[in-house]
Amino acid sequence: MKRDAPHDCPRIEALSLLIDDEISGSARRDIEAHAASCPICGATLRDFGELRGTLGALGRTSAGIDIAALIDERLPPRPAPAARPARRRRGWRWQLAPAGLAAAGVLATGAYLGMVLGGGGAVTVARTPAVAVFDAVPPGGLCVAPVCYGGGR
As measured in angstroms, the least distance from the Cβ of 7 to another protein is: 18
As measured in angstroms, the least distance from the Cβ of 92 to another protein is: 37
Residue 130 phi/psi, 5° resolution?
-65, -30
- Name which of 59 and 150 has its Cβ closer to another protein: 59
Residues 41 and 9: beta-carbon distance below 8 Å:
yes
As measured in angstroms, the least distance from the Cβ of 34 to another protein is: 16
List residues near another protein by CB under 8 A. Answer: 1-2, 11-13, 15-17, 19-20, 22, 44, 47-48, 50-52, 55-56, 58-59
What whole-number distance in Å separates Cα of residue 6 and Cα of residue 1?
A: 12
Residue 135 falls in which region: left (phi positive, over 0), alpha (psi -120 to 50) or beta: beta
